[in-house]
Amino acid sequence: MGLTMKSGLRICRVLALAATGIAFLASGVGAQGSKTAAVEKAEKSTRPKLVVLLVVDQMRGDYVDKFRGKWSGGLKRLLTEGAWFRAAAFPYAATETCPGHSTISTGSFPASHGMVANAWWDREQQKMVTCTSDPNAKNMAYAGGSTKGGDSAWRMQVPAYAEELKFQTGGASRVVTFSMKARSAITMAGHKGDAVAWFDTSGALVTSSVFGSMPFVEEFAKKNPVAQDFGKTWSPALPKTAYLYDETATGAATIDGWTTTFPHALRGKEGSTEPDAAFYEQWTASPFADTYLTKLVEAAVDSLGLGKNSATDFLGVSYSSVDYVGHTFGPRSWEIQDILVRLDKDLGELLAFLDKRVGAGNYVVALSADHGVAPIPVDMQKTGVDAGVLSLPELQARIEKALEPLNYAKPVVARMAGNEVYFSEGVYGRLKADPVAMKAVLDAISTMPGVAAVYRAEELGNGTTPIAQTRKAAVLSYFAGRSGDLYVSQKPYWLLDSLPEGSKRVTGTSHGTPYNYDQHVPVFFMGFGIQPGEYIEPVTPADIAPTLATLTGVTLATRDGRVLAEALRKPAKKDSTLRH
C-alpha cells in the first residue's frame, strides 16, 4: 500500500486492519467489501480505459496562440482542461508526415525508427519507395471500391506504443487507427492492429492484408459514401472581421476546380455532374473530410466497445485536411484559420461522445502534429527577408557539370529526393577517395542560391555530437542505408522544388526543414492521470509515447523521448499511521 511504518506497533496495527480496511485505504471512504473486489477495483482505476492519440497534420505550434480566441469546442477544451506544452518541437530535419507520425507513435527519432522521409531512394531496387510500401502486402478497398499496391509498417524499425500495449496485455487491448493517409494510420498502429484504415486517392476507404478488414468499417463505408458530399460548399464559418489575414493569401496555389478565395464548392472539374478525381482532391482538402473521419471514429467506439474492455484500448486518429489546406493556401490564409475552427467543433463532438461512451476521466487524450509549415516564399519576400525556391533539377545539373571534366560517367546522380542526394552506384565511394572531385561537388552545391550547408553521410552517421543546430537536426534524421550520400540544407524560408528547370513553382508552400516553423508543434494531454496547466519546458513529440506508456504500465523497447512527469498527477499522499 506504500505505507511507511515508524514502529513495530504500527506494523502490527496495519496487519491487523489489512483484511477489513483495504477498501477504506483504496477508496478513501468507509465502504465495506471483500478484499479481492476492492483490490480489483483499485487496480482497474490505476489505468485509463482508453488511450486516444490525435494528430493534426501540419498544425504549427503558433496556430494555438493565433487562432484560439475563436475556438469553443475540443481544441478549447484541451487548452482549458489539459496540459499544454508551449515549447514542443521536433529536434530533427526530416519534418514530414511519415517521420513525424512514427516519432509520435514510437517515442524515437528517425535515426532510430528508420522512417526518414515519406519516400526515399532504394539503392537495391534502384527506385523510390514510400515509407509504408510493402511488396508482401495487398491493399483491400471497402464497399466495393478499388485500390492497388500494398502497405504496412514493415519498414519501421521500432515498435509503436500501440503494438507494445497490445502485446503486453496479452492481446486484450484493441488497436484502432484512421486517417486520410496510409503513412499516418499505419505508423500510429505499428506492425499490427485490429482496425487500420485510410483513404485511396479515388475516395475509397482502404486497409491491407496485414491488418485485415473489419465488418463495421464495411458497413459504415456502404452507408456513408464519400460521394454524398458532392455538391457541398465550404464557406467561411466566421464573420469576415474575425479573420486575421487577407481574404486572398499572397502566393496561394489552387486546387483543380477551386479559386484562391472562398467559397470552395465540391463539384469536381468545371461542368462535372458527378464525383470525379478533382472532387476527391477537393474533399480531402475540406473540413468535410475531417467530419467524416470523426463519424467513422465514433462508429468504431460503438461497434467495438472501445474503452469497455478488460484492458486499455488504443484509438489513433490523424486529421490530414489541415495539411492539404496548408500546402495550397499557406499558414497566413482564411482557409487555414477556418478549417481549424471547424476541426475544433469536430473534436468537441468527439470528446463529448467519449465522455458518454467511456466516461469523462476514464480516457486520456494526447494531441500533437507531425510537422509545421513554412510561409509561402513570395509572401515572406514582402517583408524584405531572403526567401525563395531551390530547384532540385538545377542542383542536380550543377553536380553533373562539376564532374564533367573529371571523367565521371553520367549520370553521377541517381536521384534527388528532397534534401537527399543519392549518387549512382559506385560514384560516392569513388568521390570519397578523390578529394578534388569531392570538393568540386561540394562547391557546386554550396554556391547555389538558397543553400545553407551540405553534409556528407559520414559526418551524420559517425555519432559525433555536432555544434551547429541544423547539422544536429540532420544527424537525428540520418539512417544508414536509407538516407542519401549528401544532405543539402536550404536557407530559412527557402523551399525545395522538384519541377523541371524553367517551370519553378511560385505558389503554395511546404515543409521538411530544420527550422522552427517546421519543427514547432503543439503537444497537449488531457484526462486520466493528467495535471492540467501550461508548461514551458522544451519537449519533443517523442515524449508522448513514453508518457502514455507510463500511464498504462507499458515498457517501450527503446525511446529517444522522456516521460513528461511534470504533467502527471501525483498519487495522493497517504498517512503513514492508522488511527482508531
Q: Residue ranges per domain, the chain?
A: 8-44, 50-376+521-567, 384-506
- At residue 227 the predicted structure's pLDDT band, cuts being 50, 70 and 90, is very high
Joined together, the cell numbers standing for residue 195 give 482496425
Cβ-proximal residues to 293 (8 Å cutoff; 6+ apart), any chain? 178, 179, 180, 317, 319
Cα–Cα distance for residue pair 482/141, rounded to 1 Å: 30
Q: Are 127 and 344 in contact (CB under 8 A)?
A: no
* pLDDT value at residue 123: 97
The string of pLDDT tens digits covering residues 239-270 is 999 999 999 999 999 999 999 999 999 999 99
Maximum distance among all Cα pairs of the chain, rounded to whole angstroms: 95
> Region 159-176: what's the mean pLDDT?
98
- At residue 500 the predicted structure's pLDDT band, cuts being 50, 70 and 90, is confident
Can you give 435-464 as a three-state secondary structure string?
Answer: HHHHHHHHHHHHCCCCEEEEEEHHHHCCCC
Cβ-proximal residues to 26 (8 Å cutoff; 6+ apart), any chain? 38, 39, 41, 42
Of 498 and 520, the structure prediction assigns the larger pLDDT to: 520
Q: Are 295 and 346 in contact (CB under 8 A)?
A: no
Percent of the chain with pLDDT over 70: 89
What is the separation of C-alpha 409 from the centre of its chain, rounded to a whole number of angstroms? Answer: 41
* pLDDT value at residue 4: 40
For residues 419-441, one letter each, b for 16 or more C-beta atoms within 10 angstroms of the residue's C-beta and e for the rest, the string is bbbbbbeebbeebeeeeebbebb
* pLDDT value at residue 501: 65
Cα–Cα distance for residue pair 63/467, rounded to 1 Å: 30
The reply to whether 384-506 shares the fold of 50-376+521-567 is no
For domain 384-506, give the CATH number.
Answer: 3.30.1360.150
The string of pLDDT tens digits covering residues 12-33 is 333 333 333 333 333 333 333 3
The string of pLDDT tens digits covering residues 521-576 is 999 999 999 999 999 999 999 999 999 999 999 999 989 999 999 999 987 665 54
Cα–Cα distance for residue pair 389/503, rounded to 1 Å: 11
**pTM score, whole prediction:** 0.91
Q: Are 231 and 267 in contact (CB under 8 A)?
A: yes
Q: What is the CA radius of gyration of the chain?
A: 26
For domain 50-376+521-567, give the CATH number.
Answer: 3.40.720.10
Asked if the model's pLDDT at residue 475 lies above 50, the reply is yes
* pLDDT value at residue 503: 65
